[in-house]
Structures are given as structure tokens and as C-alpha cells.
């Protein structure tokens, strides 16, 4: 099997599974209680919180554990908007994950106005366009650190300088970027940052939201004082411990050699193949390629028959009939968006697998073109 969909989820690392099993067996206490087993559970939370905070240049008490990236995004956007005394205007990027876009647009029912910031043909947001979109009542800006379909990295340092100068809360969805590139929330002037464990060899169902100490949030639900009151409920200690364990395997920046090799092989083999976001900085593990005139779904089916697994878009949107909003926002037509495959590498990716994948795509693409020509001639 060749697995090239790490941006959807990554296999659980064996050391993470071992760590979680040990915690599950030995550390059963409720971390909010006041006896020794509870202290042991609380210690896991403390160690894990510190490990994550150190990874992004934050303080430990600024890390709020959640069930994953979607909850973190919703808590950031709904929580910050509802807590704001500044006004009822939000700015979100046009190519954001649906958990950001849908959360922002849900606030329209509460009287908020939402501006979607357009990107250029590479998927990059313009800091100056953002500046021009800010209103006196702008309460929140939500722009991803990097896109989950193309890997395009946004100019968040410049954007953060603008929002901090204007005293506007800046939220960044870093689910795709966390563990792939260095992140320093202080240098980038980020106020809220979302991330998830299962994209980097950790368990599903756990993530975090970085909340800068000066930022106020209204929680999504109520019932306890856990996680500074922002996320009530007993913490998932084994999963959180597994998240921290996964971080031990991550270098400061992921290796791009597998992605780079696959990119060069595909561009050399397939006439007219185009890398989306090629003119921008991209994450080292993500590659979005459009194969002109092809069907991305049929290419994926041909790959799957050889136990090679990739994706046409983000997994959360795979059931939708509409083309990728990320790619159409970058100017691709519906046909071009439907002819696109996303490859995402991870710790299991080998250079030899990239050659096998390229050969399989080349064969499938040429076979499909022959089939299409035959159908047209008939």
C-alpha cells in the first residue's frame, strides 16, 4: 500500500498507541479531582500542554484542549465574535476550510456581516486587500496559516501586523500547517490558532486551540471550569497524552523530498499537468496537481486498484457535488477542479513510492485519454 492522503489523516504511530494504552490502563483518574490518581492524570495534561505550547511559542496556560480542528475553529470564530464589544463584522478567507466558512456565515443569523477575502491565482491573500476590507466594527479576521488542499502558505506575519495594529482578533486555522513548518504565534501576532492531532500520527478526536491570554471567548457549551472554562467537560487524557507523544517524532520542518520528487516526475510525464499554487510558498507535504482533460475521480479509482491512495480534495468535502471552492477561488474552471488530485506525504512516504505513483498516474491518464478519444469518435 502507498498512502498519500496524510492531509486527511495519518496512521497512528506505534509509539503513540503504546503511550495511550499505558495511560488508559494506569492513569484512570479524573484530572479535576483532588486525590493521587487525579494528580497523575493532571500531570499528563500539564506535560502535554507544555509540549504543545513550546512547539508554537506560547505559554502553557494558553493551550485549550478540544476534540479536533473543527471544534477549535468553531470555538475560535463563534466564541471570539460573540465576546467582542468591537462590532459585528468578520473577515474570512474565500479558500478556508468549511468549518471556518460555515461557522462565520452561521453568525449572520445573529446580525453579523461577513466579508470573504479573495485570493490571487496562487491562492495567496493580499495583506493590502485585507487592510482595505477592515471596517471600524471589524471584530475578527480568520485566515488559515496554510491551505489544506494546495498547501499554499499565507503571509500571516504581514497580516498579523495589520490586525494587531488595528486591535482586531486574528484567528488562524493551522490544522494543515502544524507539524509541517515552524510556527511562532508571538512573531506572527496570532491571537487564536487551531490544530489537530490526527494529521501528524496522533489520535483522532483531539486537538487544541491556542488562546492568547488577553483574548475573551464565549464557550460553545457550559457545565464546568475545565480548560479555563472555554471547553467544559472531562479531558480525554489518553488522547492528549498521545498527541504530545506524536510531537516527539516531528522535526521543526517536515521533509519535502518525497513531495518534490513526485511533483517533478508528474510534470515530466503528463503533458500540460499543472501544480496549483506553484508560484507561492507551499507546505512540504502537499501537492495539488491538475491533469487537463482527465477525471480526478477516475484517476483515483485507477490508483486505488493498485492500492495507491490519494484524494481529489479535503476529506470533509469529499461528498459534495460542487467543485472544490479552493480551486475555483484560484480561478480554475469546474472541469479543471474536477481534474485535480491532492497528494499529501507523511512519515511513511518513500522516494521509491513516488516513482511507482507517477508511473501509475501516467498509465491511468493515458488510458483515460484513449478511452475518451474512442468515445468521441463513436
Q: Please list the active-site residues.
A: 316
Q: At what angle do helices 351-377 and 296-304 cross, to 10 degrees?
A: 130
Rounded to whole angstroms, how far apart are CA atoms 251 and 313? 26
Determine contact, residues 312/175, Cβ cutoff 8 Å. no
**β-sheet bridge partners, residue 93:** 117
CB atoms within 10 A of CB 151: 30
Rounded to whole angstroms, how far apart are CA atoms 307 and 309? 6
Q: Give 334's DSSP letter.
A: H
Which has the closest alpha carbon to 23: 248, 249, 239, 246?
Answer: 239
Spell out the residues 6+ positions from residue 20 whose beta carbon is closer than 8 angstroms to its own: 203, 238, 239, 241, 242, 245
Pairing of strands 63-66, 207-211: antiparallel
56: phi then psi, degrees, rounded to nearest 5: -120, 10
Element (H, E) at 172: strand 169-173
Amino acid at each position: 500500500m502507498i498512502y498519500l492522503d496524510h492531509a486527511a489523516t495519518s496512521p497512528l504511530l506505534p509509539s503513540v498507541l503504546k503511550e495511550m494504552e499505558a495511560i488508559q490502563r494506569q492513569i484512570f483518574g479524573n484530572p479535576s479531582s483532588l486525590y493521587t490518581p487525579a494528580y497523575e492524570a493532571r500531570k499528563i495534561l500539564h506535560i502535554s500542554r507544555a509540549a504543545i505550547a513550546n512547539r508554537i511559542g506560547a505559554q502553557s496556560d494558553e493551550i485549550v484542549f478540544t476534540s479536533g480542528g473543527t471544534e477549535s475553529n468553531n470555538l475560535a470564530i463563534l466564541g471570539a465574535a460573540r465576546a467582542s464589544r468591537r462590532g459585528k463584522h468578520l473577515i474570512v478567507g474565500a479558500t478556508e476550510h468549511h468549518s471556518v466558512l460555515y461557522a462565520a456565515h452561521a453568525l449572520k443569523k445573529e446580525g453579523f456581516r461577513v466579508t470573504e477575502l479573495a485570493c490571487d491565482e496562487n491562492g495567496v491573500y493580499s495583506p493590502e486587500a485585507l487592510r482595505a476590507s477592515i471596517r471600524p466594527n471589524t471584530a475578527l479576521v480568520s485566515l488559515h496559516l496554510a491551505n489544506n488542499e494546495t498547501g499554499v502558505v499565507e503571509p500571516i506575519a504581514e497580516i498579523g501586523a495589520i490586525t494587531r495594529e488595528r486591535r482586531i482578533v486574528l484567528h488562524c486555522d493551522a490544522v494543515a500547517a502544524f507539524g509541517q513548518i515552524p510556527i511562532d504565534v508571538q512573531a506572527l501576532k496570532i491571537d487564536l490558532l487551531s490544530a489537530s492531532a490526527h494529521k501528524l500520527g496522533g489520535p483522532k478526536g483531539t486537538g487544541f486551540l491556542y488562546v492568547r491570554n488577553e483574548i475573551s471567548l464565549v464557550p460553545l457549551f457550559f457545565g464546568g471550569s475545565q480548560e479555563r472554562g472555554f471547553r467544559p467537560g472531562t479531558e480525554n487524557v489518553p488522547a492528549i497524552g498521545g498527541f504530545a507523544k506524536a510531537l516527539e517524532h516531528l522535526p521543526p520542518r517536515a521533509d519535502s523530498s518525497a513531495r518534490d520528487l513526485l511533483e517533478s516526475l508528474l510534470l515530466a510525464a503528463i503533458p500540460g499537468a499543472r501544480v496549483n499554487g506553484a508560484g507561492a510558498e507551499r507546505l512540504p507535504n502537499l501537492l495539488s496537481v491538475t491533469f487537463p482533460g482527465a477525471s480526478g475521480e477516475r484517476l483515483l479509482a485507477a490508483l486505488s486498484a493498485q492500492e495507491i491512495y490519494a484524494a481529489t480534495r479535503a476529506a470533509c468535502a469529499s461528498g459534495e457535488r460542487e467543485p472544490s471552492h479552493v480551486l475555483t477561488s484560484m480561478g480554475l474552471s469546474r472541469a479543471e477542479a474536477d481534474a485535480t488530485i491532492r497528494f499529501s506525504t507523511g512519515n511513511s512516504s518513500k522516494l521509491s513510492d513516488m516513482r511507482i505513483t507517477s508511473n501509475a498516474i501516467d498509465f491511468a491518464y493515458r488510458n483515460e485519454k484513449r478511452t475518451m478519444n474512442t468515445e468521441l469518435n463513436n
